[in-house]
Structure 1
Amino acid sequence: MDGPNAVAVSAEGFGLKGPRGWAFRGVDIDAEPGALVVVEGPSGSGRTCLLLALTGRMRSTEGSASVGPFRLPKQLSAVRRISTLAHVPGVTDLDPALTVEEHLRERALLQRRFDGSLRALLRPRAERAAASRARIDTALAAAGLDREALPKGTRTAVRDLERNEALRLSVALALIGRPRLLGVDDTDLKLSDAERTQVWDLLRSVAESGTTVVAVGSEAPKDAVVVSTAPRDEADERSPGNPGTDENENPGTDKKETADALAEAGRA
């Protein structure tokens, strides 16, 4: 569904090559505003790098892509302003010692400080607090995170959350910023079949509400726009400079390069 803020996502021959080889290449996408785009592919095939590139956190080196009116790789900063990330290891990690409430308050405070207008910042404290609570409540509802269902409500520490609950919290934190594009990594990792279905229902709902979603997953729902980072054939897989399935043979999936890329994304 085309919501008020959703953006179209397209790509043609999109690729990213690092010092150790291709992270991904030859990616084509044609997704309408409000779509649920699922990035599939074997582990080490560049799924997270593609997610980061589409949200403006990594610079592509081949082909082109568009996120709404903005072109990649030329308008990275513009794409970063309208997109946000959730559940990306090394980038959006939750602090296990903090409570759900502490995470939500911190994110709302940062959001108000960095994207609020001067007029909004000058409003009485009570009004600002009420606006923050409203934004948090809206994000929690959109992420399907029920405070009352948590062991200690929002005073529950992140370390005590189930994996599904932690994912929903990460999505809620991202939605506080009211993005037009949401990128979510490892959506169905270590989840049961029932939990996977719930997560896809959640992300579909977010998309239908007006935020285009790009998510990394192993089994996309039938109504999703599916994008694969897997090599197209054996020749591509083993040709010089292209990703292979064996991490030890593939320079594009070197663990140090991936860690460096994630660290850079966290600073973006």
Structure 2
Amino acid sequence: MDSPHTGAAVTAVDFGLKGPRGWAFRGVHCTAPAGSFVAVVGPSGTGRTCLLLALTGRMRATEGRAEVGGLPLPKKMTAVRRLSALGPVAGVNELDPAFTVAEHLRERALLQRRFDGSLRSLLRRPSVRRAAARARIETALTAAGLDLATLAKGGRTSVRDLERLEALRLSVGLALMATPRLLAVDDADLKLSDEERAQAWELLRSVAAAGTTVLAVCSEPPEDALRISTVSHDAHDAHSRSRTQDPTEEGAADALAETGRS
């Protein structure tokens, strides 16, 4: 098993998930060492989001086998959820547009302290706990490349007023507050200009370089990323003929209800 202080290696052999509307994905193979930057690719409707959720323990695979950090899926889904974190995933883990950036950060720090902190940390003086929360927030924002001073209203900026790349950085920063070994990001390059896309790839590369394995669903993957495809050569023609039978990314929430989620 990987060291708990490194990223999580990800492997899959004939990995597949069948939902209420047919196969979300099938026959997926991958070998990604710890600390890899991995692009999840495939045509829209081929289960990219479902694969992302399955490899982070949020959806139960129905075929083949996979391991994340040495933990087998779907047998150890709960353990895999603990070592992984989600960035933005539509319908599953989205930013609240009514919240400010600071409110999101405070809420995440509170949740981390309540559910992930040791008993000893919970017994610390309030001033010590607040200082630890501030340090956790600052470290995560630095890793995500988000400088609150550059936002229109600083931390009081509403999520609805963020640019797409700023929202991506915030989501990644919130996920990194859990110090995960695996970070999963859906639609990483959605609605980004070429310049913004390059900045997004640099962000995710830096997270991987710091030791956290990154899985990112994208439409135009960078050349240096490892790739996991949701469509094998053998399955491509079948997908083209029967696409309406497959759950799409937009149907991920339905499949979650069917297979269970945390």
The TM-score with structure 1 as length reference comes to 0.92
2:228 corresponds to: 227
Partner of residue 53, structure 1: 54
Show the counterpart of 1:147: 148
Indicate the residue corresponding to 1:16 in structure 2: 17
| Structure 2 residue 262 is the aligned partner of structure 1 residue 261 | no
How far the C-alpha of 1:261 sits from its partner, in A, is: 2.7
> SS state of the match for residue 84, structure 1?
strand
Aligned-residue CA RMSD in angstroms?
Answer: 2.0
For 1:69, the aligned partner's letter is G
Structure 1 residue 95 displacement after superposition: 1.1
Shift of 1:220: 1.5
* Pairwise CA distance, 1:238: 5.0
Cα contact 2:98–2:158 (8 A) shared by 1: yes
Which residue identity lines up with residue 110 of structure 1 in the other structure? L
Judged with a 3 Å threshold, the aligned counterparts in structure 2 of structure 1 residues 212 and 265 are, in CA distance, closer, same or farther, namely farther
Task: Single out whichever of 212-221 and 255-264 deviates more from structure 2.
Answer: 255-264
Supply the AA of the counterpart residue of 2:244. N
Alignment-mate amino acid for residue 96 of structure 1: P
Structure 1: give runs of 5+ residues left out of the alignment.
Answer: none
Instruction: Work out the CA distance in 2 between the residues paired with 1:205 and 1:170.
Output: 15
Contact 1:3 1:209 in 2 (8 A): no
Deviates more, 1:49-58 or 1:211-220: 211-220
Aligned 8 A contact 1:3 1:210 in 2: no
Aligned counterparts of 2:159 and 2:100: Cα–Cα separation in 1: 6
Matched positions, count:
260
The DSSP-based 3-state class of the residue aligned with 1:151 is: coil
Q: State the secondary structure of the residue aligned to 1:221.
A: coil
* CA contact 2:148–2:155 (8 Å) conserved in 1: yes
1:40–1:229 Cα contact (<8 Å) kept: yes
Counterpart code for 2:106: R
Deviation, structure 1 residue 246: 6.6
Aligned partners of 2:129, 2:66: CA distance in 1, in Å?
38
SS of aligned partner of 2:153: strand
Give SS of 2:79's match: helix
- Say yes or no: does 1:177 pair with 2:171: no
- The one-character-per-residue Cα deviations of 1:29-88 (angstroms, maximum 9, x if unpaired) are 111110001101111110000000000000111110110120111100000000010110
Post-superposition Cα deviations, 1:166-225, rounded to whole Å, max 9, x if no partner, equal 111011110111100000000001100010110011001001111100010012212211
Match of 1:88 in 2: 89
1:131 corresponding residue in structure 2: 132
Distance 1:94 1:219 in 2: 24
Residue 31 (1) aligns with residue 35 (2):
no
Which residue number in structure 2 is paired with residue 112 of structure 1? 113
Tell me the distance in 2 between the aligned counterparts of 1:266 and 1:181: 20
Residue 244 (structure 2) pairs with residue 250 (structure 1): yes
After superposition, the Cα gap between the structure-2 partners of 1:110 and 1:255, relative to the gap in structure 1 and judged at 3 Å, is closer
The aligned amino acid for 1:68 is: G
Deviations 1:74-129 (A, max 9, x none): 10000000001011011111111111000000000001100100000000000000
How much does 1:21 deviate?
A: 1.1
SS at match of 1:71: strand
Report the Cα distance in structure 1 between the residues aligned to 2:155 and 2:260, rounded to whole angstroms.
26
- TM-score relative to the length of structure 2: 0.94
CA distance in 1, matches of 2:140, 2:247: 34
Deviation at 1:232, TM superposition (A): 1.6
Gaps of 5+ in 2: none
SS across alignment from 2:66: strand
Conserved? CA contact 1:91–1:265, under 8 Å: no
| Aligned positions of 1:162-173 closer than 5 A | 162-173=163-174
Aligned counterparts of 1:46 and 1:101: Cα–Cα separation in 2: 33
Letter in 2 for 1:152: K
